[in-house]
Amino acid sequence: MLSNLRAKICRKEAKESMLWSRLLIDTNPGKFRDKSEQLLGEATQLKKIFSLIIEKSK
């Protein structure tokens, strides 16, 4: 139960990272685009991993 709660918190943090990465991409199209896209991809993968952990722990 406790690890499920931790996984939910981690998934929420990954979603927030995705939001901030998208914001950087949209507001600074040239300056931070490459790094922001890389971070967005990593945050997306982490969200998927934590979602699978949550789903399998039910």
Question: What pLDDT does 22 receive?
Answer: 92
Note the pLDDT of residue 32. 78
Is residue 39 a contact partner of residue 7, using CB atoms and an 8 Å limit? Answer: no
Query: In the chain, helix, strand, coil percent, each to 5?
Result: 85, 0, 15
pLDDT at position 10 is 96
Tell me the whole-structure pTM to 2 decimals: 0.85
Q: Splitting the chain (58 residues) into consecutive groups of 10 residues, what average pLDDT does each group show?
A: 86 96 87 87 97 90
Q: Are the C-beta atoms of residues 6 and 21 closer than 8 Å to each other? A: no
Report yes or no: 51 and 10 within 8 Å, Cβ to Cβ. no
Q: What total of structural domains would you count in the chain? A: 1
Residue 55 tokens read as: 């789903």
Domain that holds residue 49: 2-56
User: What's residue 1's pLDDT?
Assistant: 63
The predicted pLDDT at position 2 comes to 60
| Amino acid in the structure at residue 31 | K
